[in-house]
Amino acid sequence: MPGRSFKNKLSLGSFNRIHQRTASVKSFGIPLIPYKNSLPSDLDIFSVSGNEPEFDDDSDCGPFDDSNIFEIIDMHGSQDSTSSTLPAPVVQNRLSQCSIAKNRRDDENDASAMVRLKKHLLTEVDGDQSTAPLSMYCFMTGFIDSVTFSAIFVWCAFQTGNSLQLALALARLFSGQHDHSFHIADRQALCSVLTFIFGAFIGRIGDKLGCKTRLWLALGTFIQTLFTMAAAIAIWQSHQGSVADARANPAWTNVSSFVCVGFLSASMGLQGIMGKRVNTQFTTTVVLTTTWCELMADPKLFDIRRMVISRDHKIIAIGSLFFGGFIGRLLIDSIGSAATLGIGTGIRLIVSVWWLFVPERQAGK
């Protein structure tokens, strides 16, 4: 073979010298696969030793023209100067470490803030220091009832009269007058009773969240706010009057007015059960018959030389309800029922926020 003949004619001494200096060749950046003019003159393996025979064109092997014996590889052209350089090590500077520590502290502060907020909302309020929002509850009782009674002679908060009115309507069927009609006043009373029960049933949600917690008292009052706002919108869209001339001629008769009565009664039912759950001298904040009786039966009624919570809070409840009815009627005569209920919506919104700042109950109480 031509390749084998050529290999036999190469200088073995030159290869030995290359083998002995492999390490030094690498250190000088000389490629291990040589190409012409890439080696030093003393390591030129392409030169044939003088003692070795030259190629003879007339030999049996024939002329040597195989260019694939030595593969010429351009190591300098294909190898980038930066490819053999390792990337610089990643060094975490002090600034990045400080930012990581700061982010960790911020996360811990956020978590602790959420824990404090949750604890604040789920803490029970002190009933003895809840006088202000409960007084506003009583104020809203008189305020709302002044609107409905002025228009249809129905109490949204006092369901004793509405229940008795339904009993009288049922008794007419047996009076011998054969009056089987369902009067508008009786329908409005029935609407008020049913929606009042519905609102009181919503108040049972507080048993799950804690009936005395800031969370439920604020949330429940906000629901009352939404009910009052819906009632204001309904009576505004009804385009009816605000004051009735006589009991037989109510000012509200269409469907929108029934919606208004329903939302107002539901708000009072929710307020009543929330006031009862707080369990203070204000009782339900909607029915004052019991409050009047308890006030008259208080053994310290005439002990005027010092403050008596059991007596004074009952007086505040009665006075607040009276004042609410007075202000409500003045506003009705001035701006109408819809605008009056709009003001009531704002008052209830303030009370809902007020509950968040009532002091918590002490452990010994």
Residue 82: its pLDDT value, please?
47
* Cα 273 to Cα 284: distance, rounded to the nearest angstrom: 6
Q: Apex CA 12: angle with CA 7 and CA 13, to 5°? A: 150
What confidence tier does 7 reach under pLDDT thresholds 50, 70, 90? very low
**Candidate from 143-147, 339-343, 358-362 with smallest mean pLDDT:** 358-362
Residue 93: its pLDDT value, please?
57
What confidence tier does 113 reach under pLDDT thresholds 50, 70, 90? confident
Delineate the domains of the chain, giving CATH numbers in brackets.
2-78 (no CATH), 118-357 (1.20.1250)
> Taking 70 as the threshold, does the pLDDT of residue 359 lie above it?
yes
Most confident of 108-112, 272-276, 277-281, 282-286: 272-276
Residue 95: its pLDDT value, please?
57
Residue 8: its pLDDT value, please?
46
Looking at the chain, how many residues does it have? Answer: 365
Q: Using CA atoms of 241, 244, 248, 249 in order, give the dihedral in degrees to the nearest 10.
A: -30
> Taking 60 as the threshold, does the pLDDT of residue 305 lie above it?
yes
| Mean per-residue pLDDT of the chain | 80
Q: Which residue stretches of the chain are H helix?
A: 2-9, 12-20, 22-27, 75-78, 94-121, 131-152, 159-171, 184-202, 206-209, 214-238, 255-278, 289-297, 309-335, 337-354
What confidence tier does 85 reach under pLDDT thresholds 50, 70, 90? low
Instruction: Write the CA distances from 49 to 5, 6, 33, 349, integer angstroms.
Output: 15, 13, 21, 109
> Taking 70 as the threshold, does the pLDDT of residue 118 lie above it?
yes
DSSP 204: G
Instruction: Write the CA distances from 102 to 96, 97, 105, 108, integer angstroms.
Output: 10, 9, 5, 10
Give pLDDT tens digits for 29-55: 555 555 555 555 555 544 544 444 444
Closest C-alpha to 243, from 332, 112, 119: 332
Give pLDDT tens digits for 50-74: 444 444 544 454 554 544 444 444 5
Terminal-residue alpha carbon distance, the chain: 112
Residue 33: its pLDDT value, please?
54
**Candidate from 83-92, 182-191, 326-335, 340-349 with smallest mean pLDDT:** 83-92
